[in-house]
A and B are shown apart, each in its own frame.
Chain A
Amino acid sequence: QKEVEQNSGPLSVPEGAIASLNCTYSDRGSQSFFWYRQYSGKSPELIMSIYSNGDKEDGRFTAQLNKASQYVSLLIRDSQPSDSATYLCAVNMGNSGYALNFGKGTSLLVTP
């Protein structure tokens, strides 16, 4: 059973701080990695994709990937109360599949 693991949280950070969200995955054949944000009762919203080892920055978000360690992370700089949500890590299944395997998500709470 291929697994995507995330700490469920809640992760609480003060407004303006950096939030660090982590994810590990078991499928060594995975090539595509995604972070989604999900507000309660809503659908997943794509934040970032990353395919190569290293860092990828987009605005306040930075995704980091280490395939050797099977680890992907998301940093949110200057966290805002509106960032309070559940963050889902998703990994494609296998070498060439497009289907995504999701983690259970980390709940982030940004306090004013």
Chain B
Amino acid sequence: EPEVTQTPSHQVTQMGQEVILRCVPISNHLYFYWYRQILGQKVEFLVSFYNNEISEKSEIFDDQFSVERPDGSNFTLKIRSTKLEDSAMYFCASSEGMGSYEQYFGPGTRLTVT
């Protein structure tokens, strides 16, 4: 069964560094998303991406964040100048679109900023 994959599973970085989180969405899906979940808190929407551009973003998704679809399979989230409060699980999700709205989540990347 097709699934969303994410790498790495765990990333440790120092405050102020840049990180890139990678995702491979399900191959025939057209919509891609990033969410985060701080430990003990709810899942929060960051950004959605369709047709090579951002379609929605939350207040969390400020200039520190960017997304890219560098090729036909990968979808990345870049976090510049990381802060302690960026420590969280980051989930990539994808949906088929075209009237199908179910979002399927990848296993997540645990980001730890020290």
Q: Which residues of A contact B (CB under 8 A)?
A: 32, 34, 36, 42-46, 49, 51, 88, 90, 92-93, 97-105
The CA-CA distance from A92 to B55 in the complex, in Å, is: 14
**B43, B91, B97, B101 pick with most chain A CB within 10 angstroms:** B43
Q: Which of A34, A43, A104, A105 contacts B107 (CB 8 A)?
A: A43
Which residue of chain A has its CB nearest to the CB of B108? A43
Q: Please name all residues of chain A whose beta carbon is closer than 8 Å to the beta carbon of B75 when the two chains form the complex.
A: none
Q: Are A102 and B42 in contact (CB under 8 A)?
A: yes
* Number of inter-chain CB pairs below 8 Å: 59
Chain A residues with CB below 8 A from B35, complex form: 100, 102
Tell whether, in the assembled complex, residue B107 and residue A42 are in contact, meaning their CB atoms are under 8 Å apart: yes
Is the Cβ of B91 less than 8 Å from the Cβ of A43? yes
Contact of B44 with A by CB under 8 A: yes
A98–B102 touching, CB < 8 Å:
no
- Asked if B48 and A98 sit within 8 Å, CB to CB, the answer is yes
Given the known interface contacts A97-B56, A98-B55, A104-B42, the answer about A43 and B101 at a Cβ–Cβ threshold of 8 Å is: no
Question: A44-B91, A93-B45 known; A99 and B33 CB under 8 Å?
Answer: yes
Contact partners of A36 in chain B: CB under 8 A: 105
How many residues on the B side are at the interface (Cβ–Cβ under 8 A)?
24
Q: Is the CB of B76 closer than 8 A to any CB of chain A?
A: no
Closest to A48 in B: B102
Q: Which residues of A contact B89 (CB under 8 A)?
A: 43
B105 and A44 form a contact (CB under 8 A):
yes
**Other than the known A43-B106, A43-B108, A97-B56, what 5 A-B pairs have Cβ atoms closer than 8 Å?**
A34-B103, A43-B89, A44-B43, A51-B101, A99-B58
Contacts of B102 in A (CB 8 A): 34, 46, 49
Q: Are A98 and B95 in contact (CB under 8 A)?
A: yes
Q: Is the CB of B104 within 8 A of A99?
A: no
A-B contact pairs, 9 of them (CB 8 A): A42-B107, A42-B108, A44-B43, A45-B105, A98-B33, A98-B103, A99-B56, A100-B33, A102-B35
